[in-house]
Amino acid sequence: MEVNVVKKDWRKVDLRFAFVYPNVYRVGMSSFTTQLLYFLLNSREDVACERCFLPYQRNVSPISLESGRGLRDFDVIGFTLQFETDYVNVVDILRRSGIPLYTKDRSERDPLIIAGGPCAWENPEPVSDFFDLFIIGDAEAVLDKFIDVFLEVKKPRENLEVFAEIEGIYVPSLGKHYVKRAWIRKLDDCPHPIAEVIPQVDENSSFAPVFGKSFLLEATRGCSRGCSFCLIGFQNRPMRARSFEFLRKLIDEGPKFSGVNKVSLIGSAVADHPNFEDLCWYVVDSGFELSVPSLRIDGFSESIAETLIKGGQKTVTFAPEAGTFRLRQIVNKPFTDEQILSAISIAKECGIKHVKLYFIVGLPNETEEDLKSITDLIRKIIELGYSARDLHVSITPFIPKPHTPFQWVAQLPLKEIRRRLNFLVSDLRKLGLNYIDYLDPRWAKIQAALSLGDRRLGKLIEYVAEHGNNLGTWRRAQKIFNIDLTRYVDEARSLDKELPWSHIDVGV
């Protein structure tokens, strides 16, 4: 049961579009992209957009939530690629829907299979044989043009080259061709959903969105900070902010029309919004709960902490990424220990109960000292008055990302990542920390290969989708197809060689 579902009469529209989030309902409905695309597409009278997610049960065919139709009944199926780990789910969904997996095997009777989202612009090559076209950039800059052309062209599949003429569209079956990212300069020029789809379920239900039942408010898009390891900081620049006036109107109306009492601020660099503090106060002074995913170490203030407390948020999240100032400088996140401790001490004094901290292990130039310093930093945080039980440390092995200054750098060998991770985790455990989570380095290798790989990986993805997405299957697939994933990640890429993603221009 959901509110604000749009159901259209298929006989009265020209295009039936299935928006697919290639993960389960809870994950997909936590994403602002789902709300935005559903709203944008259904705003057109000639389009009916219905949502579809990966079914919770294995081997069940995916159906749309609005009309219960299978994906084959739609004209266009649009996937959003938010995480590389969802690639296997894309193939699984196509397979379960009875749609030929490869673009070369589809006919004019099959729906057009398209994709957008950060992974599409990061490096579409590993999944490029499965998609008829990719949208590279902001949906608002491309979607209407794409639909108009689709409705104009009699046989879209036979005329894919027509789509490639639109800025921001990549048609992989034409071979690698240059694509410039299409982007929106002013967010205020783009409409924002007001009546968002909200599941009417208990907060503890496995269908409840991650932020709870809340109005997702996109305050910023992209980030200009340029941390050297971060994809968003290089593929989606500059940071653009909706004006405070625009956001106030949304806060006045959105929660009311969505039937919720909470506002979640969305944006990779949301705390960089020029009116961030005023925005937080406006939410809580309007009587709503507030959720802010992550905060700026250098901009954190008592006033912001107060709004969070008033808005019911019990945890603050900061991302120092590295243990020493030296390494933080190298990755272009030059916060001093004093700045980090000052932000956390403000949180403590203002009554914030829990602190979550993100770190990366295996960054270029990392030394033993950098790892030990993470534990030292946590020790100092405990001395500020937080107990070890109140701290949550999340660790990710470094994954080199396309388009970033680290795109040529090798990932450390598996053994070495494991050694460093074990060292750090056991050091942290000595402090009594209960909440330490980390990504298994074997999965970090697979993720890195899916980020940095090329078209040959399609076969592996297909195999894993058919035989189960687990480490054993990935190992078997590499043997069967004689493709060693470590080749994509353990070797540095040469500066004078073309990279698999060189044809994707994410510049401004």
Shortest Cβ 397–ligand SF4 spacing (Å): 16
**CA-CA distance, 499 to 404, in Å (whole number)?**
12
Stretch of residues binding ligand SF4 (CB under 6 A), selected from 40-48, 228-236, 389-397, 451-459: 228-236
Task: Tell the smallest beta-carbon distance from residue 270 to ligand SF4 (Å).
Answer: 10
Tell me the C-alpha distance between 411 and 453, whole Å.
13
Nearest residue (CB) to ligand SF4, 197 versus 331: 331
For residue 436, what are the contacts with CB-CB under 8 A and spacing of at least 6? 392, 393, 394, 395, 425, 428, 429
Residue 304 binds ligand SF4, judged by CB under 6 A: no
One residue of 44, 225, 456, 493 binding ligand SF4 per CB under 6 A: 225
The piece of 155-163, 165-173, 222-230, 425-433 that touches ligand SF4 (CB under 6 A) is 222-230
Stretch of residues binding ligand SF4 (CB under 6 A), selected from 17-25, 41-49, 218-226, 339-347: 218-226
Phi, psi of 142, deg, nearest 5: -130, -35
Q: Please identify which residue in the block is written with the tokens 């080259």.
A: 161
Minimum distance, C-beta of residue 276 to ligand SF4, in the bound complex (Å): 13
**Which stretch, 14-22, 146-154, 219-227, 438-446, contacts ligand SF4 (CB under 6 A)?**
219-227
- 432: phi then psi, degrees, rounded to nearest 5: 90, 15
Q: Is 411 exposed, middle or buried (0-12, 13-18, 19+ CB in 10 A)?
A: buried
- Nearer to ligand SF4 among residue 222 and residue 458 (C-beta): 222
Q: Does 227 bind ligand SF4 (CB under 6 A)?
A: yes
Q: What residues between 141 and 180 interact with ligand SF4 by CB under 6 A?
A: none
DSSP conformation class of 69: -
Closest-CA residue to 409 (of 418, 400, 417, 396): 400
Burial of 45 (0-12, 13-18, 19+ CB in 10 A): exposed
Question: How many other CB atoms sit within 10 Å of the CB of residue 351?
Answer: 11
Cβ closer to ligand SF4: 299 or 351?
A: 299
Specify the amino acid at residue 33.
T
Q: How far is the CB of 296 from ligand SF4 (least distance, A)?
A: 8
Shortest Å, Cβ 235 to ligand SF4: 10
Is residue 356 at the binding interface for ligand SF4, with CB under 6 A as the rule?
no
Mode of pairing for the β-strands spanning 169-170 and 133-135: antiparallel
Query: Which amino acid is residue 193, in one-letter code?
Result: P
- The distance of closest approach from Cβ of residue 318 to ligand SF4 in the complex, given in angstroms and rounded to an integer, is 11
**Least distance between ligand SF4 and beta carbon 479 (Å):** 36
Alpha-carbon separation of residue 47 from 9, 39, 74, 77 (angstroms): 10, 11, 11, 13
Closer Cβ to ligand SF4, 213 or 403, answer by number = 403
Q: Of these, 47, 133, 232, 340, which contacts ligand SF4 (CB under 6 A)?
A: 232
Task: Show Cβ contacts of residue 417 under 8 Å, excluding neighbours closer than 6 positions.
Answer: 361, 362, 397, 411, 441, 444
Assigned token pair, 260:
């919720």
Alpha helix segments (H runs only) across 351-456: 368-383, 414-429, 441-452
Task: Select from 227-235, 396-404, 423-431, 480-488 the region that touches ligand SF4 (CB under 6 A).
Answer: 227-235
Residue 396 beta carbon to ligand SF4: minimum distance, rounded to whole angstroms: 12
Instruction: In angstroms, give the least distance from the CB of 293 to ligand SF4.
Output: 11
Q: Which is nearer to ligand SF4, 222 or 255 (CB)?
A: 222
Question: Is position 327 an interface residue for ligand SF4 (rule: CB under 6 A)?
Answer: no
CA distance 91 to 464: 9
Return the number of the residue (72 or 225) whose C-beta is nearest ligand SF4.
Answer: 225
For residue 450, the cross-strand partners are none
Among 28, 62, 193, 233, binds ligand SF4 (CB under 6 A): 233
- Which is nearer to ligand SF4, 97 or 220 (by Cβ)? 220
For residue 472, give every residue at least 6 positions away whose Cβ sits within 8 Å of its Cβ, in sequence order, or none.
none
137 interacts with ligand SF4 by CB under 6 A: no
Q: How far is the CB of 227 from ligand SF4 (least distance, A)?
A: 3
Closest C-alpha among 372, 357, 259 to residue 317: 357
From residue 41 to residue 80, what is the string marking binding to ligand SF4 with x (rule CB under 6 A)? ----------------------------------------
Cβ of 287: how many Cβ atoms within 10 Å? Answer: 8
Minimum CB distance to ligand SF4, residue 365 (Å): 18
Binder of ligand SF4 out of 119, 223, 347, 446 (CB under 6 A):
223
If binding means CB under 6 A, how many residues of this protein chain bind ligand SF4?
9
Interacting residues of 235 by C-beta distance below 8 A, sequence separation 6+: 118, 121, 122, 181, 402, 403, 506
Write the binding mask 263 to 292 for ligand SF4: x where contact by CB under 6 A, - elsewhere.
-----xx-----------------------
Q: Is 20 helix (H, G, I), strand (E, B) or coil?
A: strand
Total Cβ atoms within 10 A of residue 292: 24
Residues within the interface to ligand SF4 (CB under 6 A): 223, 225-227, 230, 232-233, 268-269
